[in-house]
Each structure stands twice: as structure tokens, then as C-alpha cells.
Amino acid sequence: MATFKEFRNNVKPNWCPGCGDFSIQAAIQRAAANVGLEPEQLAVISGIGCSGRISGYINAYGLHGIHGRALPIAQGVKLANRELTVIASGGDGDGFAIGMGHTVHAIRRNLNITYIVMDNQIYGLTKGQTSPRSAEGFKTKSTPEGSIESTLSPLEIAMSAGATFVAQSFSSDLKGLTSLIEQGIQHEGFSLINVFSPCVTFNKINTYDWFKENIVSLEQFPDYDPSDRVVAMNKIMETNGMLTGLIYQNKSRKSYEDMIPGFKPEALANQELSITQEQFDQLVAEFK
Amino acid sequence: MISQLSWKIGGQQGEGVESTDRIFSTALNRLGYYLYGYRHFSSRIKGGHTNNKIRISTKPIRAISDDLDILVAFDQESIDLNARELRKGGVIVADAKFNPTVPEDVEARLFAVPITKMAEELGTSLMKNMVASGASWALLGLPLEVFNKAVEEEFGRKGPAIVEKNIEAVKAGAEFVLEQAGGPLDDFKLDEADGKQKLFMIGNEAIGLGSIAAGCRLMSAYPITPASEIMEYLIKKLPKFGGTVVQTEDEIAAVTMAIGANYAGVRTMTASAGPGLSLMMEAIGLAGMTEQPLVIVNTQRGGPSTGLPTKQEQSDLNAMVYGTHGEIPKIVIAPSTIEDCFYDMIEAFNLSEEYQVPVIVMTDLQLSLGKQSCEPLDYSKVQISRGKLVKDSPALEGGELFKRYEFTEDGVSPRILPGEKGGIHHVTGVEHDEVGRPSENAMNRKLMMEKRLKKLNNLRIRDAIRVDAPNEKPDLLIIGMGSTGGTIDAARDMLKENGISSNHITVRQIHPFPAEQLKPHLENAGKVIVIENNATAQLAGQIKMNAGYADKIESLLKYDGNPFLPLEVYKACKELS
Ligand SMILES: Cc1ncc(C[n+]2csc(CCOP(=O)(O)OP(=O)(O)O)c2C)c(N)n1
Ligand code: SF4
Ligand SMILES: [Mg+2]
């Protein structure tokens, strides 16, 4: 069985020292090992941004695609080979601005993949513009007078889109994050894990210290029941979206793959490409 | 006795024009006639004039006719709009209910049949299409049993009582009109057909069928006219083969999902039309850069923007050839017959894996939606080739990665699928090295660009150009693509009768352009005319740019939304020669 070290490669990340993304990478590697995966059984599909580079830093199959499209690519991979564990990952701009349409529909579709958003409330790669996750009044290169748009709440959106697994974490909490990723991988359906991942270079407001002060951990509520949708939604609103932990899980809904008529449990990629002459004749018969 | 005839049915959209046409043509197909259909419709679902035309012949035909022999009209508008297409002595079968009148300048025989009344007497006005088609079938003197069999199949699932009623309606229409006309019309009697079994289908169905035969098991797509039938066909059929269709949230998702699925090893396609193609452009570049196989069908319609969404055009050629930023290898092929629609899909999937490039199959609305006779399709001709796909590569040692982008002589590298133990590598749209890691090294960049671009240097597809050249030195060389081939051939028959010799070339490999194959034909022709459904002569532009002979090349363009008619092509060619 592979250890987390086997999910490491020898590429040195080009992230700034102190960037929150390092820990997310480590958490994915640990979680993959903890759930018993071998590197070739994992595919990490990422978007474009500082965060999007993550697929190149993990020893597994990886595809670094185009901005905002990690999810449809990841869903294609999963449909083609459902035996793979598929993780999609990218930034808050990637998933909640340019790729928001895909995020909502991937949630609705509920394929058995895990989506990890590396949420730094800013555009890192393009050197510090506002993101849909930026707070109102947040000053950036693109909002010198402060952002005048309201902040998007991905957790609320996920809940209302019918998510079956919603979690949030903080990159400093390696243990908690690793555990959530494991649970996300094991969840039979789409799992969204939004991870606060400070951008030490461009975001001087939402810093490590700021998160430590503002995060509300679900551990504080021993009676919390993540299977109750209304409770989950209330808690998200009460804590202004700063909640961390497993917020909601619906274990009864089947994954998309399991609901496709005639879809086999084995990888489609390994199935025969040709059909029989008899099958072909049947197809042709309706045109006579 | 005549060897061919054109029949048209017109009415309000949603009034049964489609189903009448379907039953009528199925019956003709059973009799072994060659058929070519043309659907005139607007993007409204209900209401608005619509008509379907079928050309019926004892010989192969691939074009609509200039004129019309029989018009079946459910309303006066259908007569007013279509009667002038009738040849002298043509026939109108119309519903007596609206007191049909024939325009003064039209010489046609009118049969007013109480279509609605008879249908209502038999139970429901819904059956008026059966009364009408029965009447027009009877005028042709064709065997009623064959027609009834088609009716039985259309309504079979609704139970024997419904079938019975509809057959009665057919009979009622037939008997009424035969009495009025004093028997079948002598001058409408078709020669017997060759009786050989043919298929009767639209291009989009042939594309769907070809995809399944090619091993395509996934499709991701977003609905759009005139591509949706491909998706609808595969939704019905793919589950039988373990596959599925995903209706995505947009075309960007459709194409990127297809890229992901191809990357993971399943032959996957998407299909769209102009607006969707525009949305796919960035992703096409990703497929080119990361050398993923990808098949996109673009069913062209009237552009730009929403343009004429339900009309014929061939104006996306440049978008397909040049679309996406940067420079990638890409193949664009253009089927030109219904049989091509089938076989080219197999070729497209093979090429996309052999060369690891995006392949765009371009059709046009008339080819995609025109229903026509198709020669029997031969599954034994279907060969699946997956190119340099590697299985069971030896395990990698100490952090080593699989050289997915290895420099090779032909530029094509070995490809391995996720899940393979010895295959781990990286894939990125960022410039990368042989194992797929990002690299900005100038030398590597240059080599990688050259590697990708040289992959298509030796591309040879089946019939890159399809040549019909009976004349060594023709007065005229006519060049076209897509659905225009049959019309061009019909025009050539007229040219020949008038002593003008012509050759005909259909360009099927649009990109990379098969210039060398075309050059000798351009050289030998007196004059060259390029015929295309667009306003800026895009195909002619490709020919001039790639093969030269600009001073010899003229264009006939049509961009009013309608396909060319043989007479139009004939006139333009005659004027030129
Ligand atoms: C279609 C397109 N538009 C714009 C860009 C430029 N771009 C690259 S990353 C990015 C935003 C990055 O922000 P985020 O997704 O939050 O990732 P981060 O860098 O913060 O991790 C932008 C706008 C692009 N690559 N593609
Ligand atoms: S710019 Fe910000 S997000 Fe990007 S690597 Fe540096 S710290 Fe991380
Ligand atoms: Mg960001």
C-alpha cells in the first residue's frame, strides 16, 4: 500500500513561501494514502491560477486544463473511468467566477468526485484582483475604492443546488483537512470542500491570523447533525459562512453514475469498442 | 411513365406535416425508390408555415428539384407560398374546408378533398394527414398495402384500434380522390423502382450510427439546431452499449467533458452548431496543446450570431480552420453524402487517436437534416485504430514519469491512459516537456511546437478530394463541399446537354488543405467555379491561398438561407463558360 510519500514528486512548487496551497497539497497526498489509493488510481484535475498548479505537484495522473473548467474535465474523466478516484481542484476565481456555472451543475449532477477549492478570496496568479469571495469594501488592484459587489457564499449556493456533501476547512488545519478529504473521497457522490488558503502575497486582510480569529469550528457543537439540511443551512448563515468541518452530507442520494441506465460498474474505458454484426443490423433496421 | 417526381406537403407547424412526410416516404423507401427530402421550417414550434418536400426517383439523387409535381396543402397559405413551384399541369390536393383557390398565374389541377371533414367523421381531425396522404398516394397509383404497412408501424404502439382508424382514413382519402380524378393520374405514374433495399435517414442519424460503430460511447452536448438529433439518437442508443449522453450546462462544459473522457480513454464526442462552436474555441486549443483526441461535429447553419438558426449555410469554415488562439494541429473534414456521414465518423475517431488532435466534422443543415436514401452501410468496412495507445507499460522507477510527449520522428508520442501503473505523467495546457511538466525553456518550446505541428504532415484521409472528372480538359471545373454535391451534379447534366463539359470536385478534407491533390485539376480546367453557401467565398479563399490559380477561380455564392437549386448552378456555370 502506498504511503503519502509515494504521492510526492520531485517538482518544486512555484508557490510563494507561506502560501496556504502547500498544506492543501500535503492534505491531498495524505488523504489519498489514508484511503488506500495507489498513485495510478488517482487523477487530479485542476484549473488555472496559482492553485491550479497543484495537479503538477502530486505524483498521480494529473491534468491542468483551462481557467474555470476543471469540473467538466474531471466529470469526463470519471464517466470514462469510474474506477479512478477523481479530485478536481482550483481557485475561488476558477470555481466561483469563470467556472461558477459548472460548479452549480456539477453539484446537481452529483458524480462521485471530490472538488477542493483553494479559497484565498483573491486572484493570486494575475497578481491581486478582486474575487467573488472578496469581502465588500475589499481593496485590490481592480477595486481601488473597495469592492462594491456582495460576497458570494459558496456553501449556501452548494446547499441550494442540492449538494450531497459540503465541507469547509482551513489550510493550517492539516489534520482536519486531511480527514475531510478522506470523507469526501469516500462519499458516494459529489463532495465540495472549500478550503481557506491564505494568499500571503496579495491578500493582507484575510491572513492566517484573521482566519484563526474568525473561523467557527463545528467541533464546538458536539450535537451538530450534518444530515439535516435546514440545520446546515442555518448554521452556515449564522456563522456568516465561516464554519469549518463536515457541514452537510446526504448519504441516501445515489451518484450520477449509479443512476445512468445501463451504465456498468466497471470502467467504460476498458470496455469493447466494437459491436457485433447483429447489433449493427438491429441499429440499421429502423431506417428501412 | 416517369422516372422521377417531386411531392410536397405544407401546413402550419405542429399540424402533422412531419408525420405525413414520414409515413409517405417510409412507404416509398420500401418500394425501393431513391428519395431526397428537404424540410423547410422556422424556429417556431407551433404555428407558422412549414413544408416538407420529397424528390422521388428510380435513380440515385442527392438534390432537391427545381420544380414540383404534387402539392398537398392543409391551408391556403401553403398554396399561395408554394404553388408557383409547381410545373405546368402539376397537382394540388387541398382541404375542401378552406375553399382552396389556385393563383391565377398557376396552371395546376386542383383536387379539393374534404380532408378535415372525413377525418372528423372517422373520429378526430388529427387524422387529416392520413386522409391527405392517402389521397396523394392514390393519385400516383402506388400499391396501398405498402402504405398501410407504414401506417401500421407509425401507430402500432398506440394499439390496433388506432391503426385501423388511420388505415380507414387513408382509404377514405384515396377513394374520394380517385373518384374525382377518374383513377390514378397517367402522367404521374412512376417507373418501377429497382427494389433494392436502401436506408432512409437524415445525416445526423448517420453521424450517430457512425459514432457507435466507431466505438464512441460517450457524448456530452448542449442542444442546438441543427445538431440536436445526433444527441437525441445517441441518448436512445448508447445505453445499449454501456455508454451515455450527458446534456451539459453549456458547450464549454460539453467540449471539456469530452476532452476529459477522451483523456481517460473513451471515444467521446460533442456536436453543436455555430454559437456552440464559438464557445468551444479555447478548449479546442487545450486539446491541441495537450494532444488529446477529440471529435466535434459542427452542423453549420445560418450565421453570424443567432443568424438564421434553421436555415442552410456553410459559413463556419474559417472559424473551424482558424478558430482557437495560438497554433495547433487540427483536422477538419466535410462529409458530403449521407454515406460519408457514417463512414467519416469512423475516420474522425481514428484520426483523432492516431494523430492525437481535435477533429472537426463539418456538415451543413441540409446534410444534417435532409432525409435521404442511403446505400446499405457495410459494418465489415469499419476498422478501429487507436494509434499509439500503450497498454502495460513497465513500472516507473524512482520518481520517473512516462514520456507522454516524447519527441518522435512523426511527432506522435505514445499515449497511455490514467489507471495504468507505468504511465504516470502530467498533462497541461502550459508549454511542457516530454513528461508533461511545465517548461519555458526556449529550445524545448521550439521543439514542442514543431513536434505538434508536424504530426499532420503526412495526413491522408479517404478521398481528401472526391473527383468526378470524365473530361481531360473540361471547359469548367466545379468545386463544392458538403451538401451541394448533388445539386452540382444535376446542373452538370444540364450543362452537358448544352455542350459544356464539366468536372466536379468535392473537397472533403478542409484542413489541412489538400492543395497538391487539387492542383492538377485546377491546371487542366478552362475555368473554375467554386460553389458555396456563404457570402465571403471561404472555400474559394482556401483554394486560392493554398493551391493558387486565383485568376481562374470564380465563385457562386448563396447566403439567403436556402440551398442551391440545380437551375441556379446551371445558369451561373453557363454564364461563366
Ligand atoms: C479565459 C481566461 N481568462 C483569464 C485568465 C487569466 N487568469 C488566470 S488565473 C486567473 C484568476 C486566478 O484566481 P483564482 O482562480 O482565485 O486562483 P488563485 O491564483 O487565486 O489560486 C485569471 C483571471 C485565463 N487564464 N483564462
Ligand atoms: S500569489 Fe498568493 S496564492 Fe499565489 S502562490 Fe503566492 S501566496 Fe499563493
Ligand atoms: Mg484565488
Residue located nearest, by CA, to atom 2 of ligand 1 = A67
Record the cell numbers describing residue B168, joined without a space: 380507414
How many C-alpha atoms does B17 have within 13 Å on its Cβ side? 30
Question: B421 vs A40: CB contact, 8 Å cut-off?
Answer: yes
Task: Calculate the CA B556 to chain-centre distance.
Answer: 21
Record the cell numbers describing residue B223, joined without a space: 442542444
Count of residues in chain A: 288
A46 contacts A53 by C-beta, under 8 angstroms: yes
- The CA distance from B62 to B480, in Å, is 14
Place of cell 491550479: A52
Question: A73 vs B429: CB contact, 8 Å cut-off?
Answer: no
Ligand 1 centroid – CA A126 distance (Å): 6
Q: Could you say which DSSP state residue B475 is in? A: S
- The CA distance from B35 to B56, in Å, is 5
Distances (CA, A) of B435 to A43, B183, B410, B452, B515: 16, 78, 18, 15, 35
Contact residues, A window 121-140, toward B, CB-based 8 Å cutoff: none
B478 contacts B487 by C-beta, under 8 angstroms: no
Record the cell numbers describing residue B493, joined without a space: 447534366
**Residues with Cβ within 8 Å of residue B232, at least 6 apart in sequence:** none
- The CA distance from B153 to B226, in Å, is 26
Number of Cβ pairs < 8 A linking chain A and chain B? 193
Closest ligand 1 atom to residue A199 Cα is: 20
Phi-psi region of A26 (alpha: psi -120 to 50; beta: other; left: phi over 0): alpha
- The CA distance from B9 to B72, in Å, is 5
B478 contacts B502 by C-beta, under 8 angstroms: yes
B576 contacts B527 by C-beta, under 8 angstroms: yes
- Residue B503: beta bridge partners? B477
Residue of A135 and B41 predicted with greater confidence: A135
Q: Could you say which DSSP state residue B305 is in? A: T
Peptide bond between residue B512 and the one before it cis (omega within 30 degrees of 0) = yes
pLDDT at B42: 65
3-state DSSP of chain A? CCCHHHHECCCCCCCCCCCCHHHHHHHHHHHHHHCCCCHHHEEEEECCCCHHHHHHHECCEEEECCCCCHHHHHHHHHHHCCCCEEEEEEEHHHHHHHCHHHHHHHHHHCCCCEEEEEECCEECCCCCEECCCCCCCCCCCCCCCCCCCCCCCHHHHHHHCCCCEEEEEECCCHHHHHHHHHHHHHCCCCEEEEEECCCCCCCCCCCHHHHHHHCEEHHHCCCCCCCCHHHHHHHHHHCCCCEEEEEEECCCCCCHHHHCCCCCCCCHHHCCCCCCHHHHHHHHHCCC
3-state DSSP of B444-469? HHHHHHHHHHHCCCCCCCCCCEEEEC
Across the interface, of A81, A264, A273, the residue whose CB is closest to B215 is: A273
Q: What are phi and psi of A72, to 5 degrees?
A: -60, -35
Question: A76 vs B252: CB contact, 8 Å cut-off?
Answer: no
- The CA distance from B99 to B112, in Å, is 8
Closest ligand 2 atom to residue A203 Cα is: 2
State the 10-residue block means of pLDDT for chain B, 577 residues long: 94 86 91 91 72 94 91 95 94 96 94 95 91 94 93 92 94 95 93 91 98 98 98 98 98 98 98 98 98 98 97 97 98 98 98 98 96 96 97 83 97 98 97 98 98 94 96 97 96 97 98 97 97 98 98 97 96 95
B101 contacts B76 by C-beta, under 8 angstroms: yes
Residue located nearest, by CA, to atom 6 of ligand 2 = A16
Q: Is CATH 3.40.50.11540 what the domain over A4-285 is classified as, yes or no?
A: no
Pairing of strands B358-364, B371-374: unpaired
Contact residues, A window 20-49, toward B, CB-based 8 Å cutoff: 38-41, 43, 45
pTM for the model: 0.96
Q: In 3-state terms, what secondary structure has residue B378?
A: coil
Domains and CATH numbers, chain B: 4-197 (3.40.920.10), 200-381 (3.40.50.970), 465-576 (3.40.50.920)
In which order are the strands placed within the sheet that holds B86-95? B108-113, B86-95, B68-73, B4-12, B49-57, B34-40, B371-374, B199-202
Question: A69 vs B382: CB contact, 8 Å cut-off?
Answer: no
Ligand 1 binding pocket, CB closer than 6 Å? A 48-51, 67, 90-94, 118, 120, 122-126, 131
Distances (CA, A) of A169 to A227, B96, B573: 18, 75, 72
B527 contacts B477 by C-beta, under 8 angstroms: yes
Task: Please calculate the CA angle B438-A44-A5 and round it to the nearest 5 degrees.
Answer: 85
- The CA distance from B534 to B313, in Å, is 6
Place of cell 438529433: B229
- Considering only CA atoms, which of A48, A60, A70 is closest in space to residue A8? A60
pLDDT at B490: 94
Task: Calculate the CA B216 to chain-centre distance.
Answer: 19
The CA dihedral of B399, B405, B408, B412, to the nearest 10 degrees, is 140
- Considering only CA atoms, which of A191, A210, A190, A192 is closest in space to residue A200? A210
Q: In 3-state terms, what secondary structure has residue B333?
A: strand
Distances (CA, A) of B220 to B200, B243, B261: 26, 11, 10
**Residues with Cβ within 8 Å of residue B179, at least 6 apart in sequence:** none
Peptide bond between residue B226 and the one before it cis (omega within 30 degrees of 0) = yes
Q: Which of A44, A66, A259 to mutate to test the interface with B (most CBs of B within 10 A)?
A: A66
Residue located nearest, by CA, to atom 10 of ligand 1 = A49
Radius of gyration (C-alpha) of chain B in whole angstroms: 26
Chain A residues whose CB is inside 8 A of the B248 CB are 72, 105
In which order are the strands placed within the sheet that holds B294-300? B244-247, B218-221, B268-272, B294-300, B358-364, B331-333, B509-511
Task: Calculate the CA A38 to chain-centre distance.
Answer: 20
The DSSP string of B59-105 is: S---S--SSEEEEEESSHHHHHHHGGGEEEEEEEEEEGGG-----TT
Ligand 2 binding pocket, CB closer than 6 Å? A 15-16, 19, 21, 50, 120, 124, 199-202
Pairing of strands B465-468, B502-507: antiparallel
B21 contacts B54 by C-beta, under 8 angstroms: yes
ipTM: 0.98
- The CA distance from B135 to B93, in Å, is 8
**Residues with Cβ within 8 Å of residue A247, at least 6 apart in sequence:** A155, A166, A167, A168, A218, A226, A232, A235, A236
- Flag whether pLDDT at A273 surpasses 70: yes
B534 contacts B317 by C-beta, under 8 angstroms: yes
The DSSP string of B498-558 is: TT--EEEEEE-EEES--HHHHHHHHHH-SEEEEEESSSS-HHHHHHHHHH--GGGEEEEE-
- The CA distance from A171 to A199, in Å, is 11
- The CA distance from B154 to B126, in Å, is 14
Residue located nearest, by CA, to atom 3 of ligand 1 = A67
Residue B152 buriedness (CB in 10 A; 0-12 / 13-18 / 19+): middle
Question: B218 vs A76: CB contact, 8 Å cut-off?
Answer: yes
What number of other Cβ atoms are within 10 A of residue A232's Cβ?
A: 24
Ligand 2 centroid – CA B304 distance (Å): 41
Chain B residues whose CB is inside 8 A of the A273 CB are 214-215, 217, 267, 384
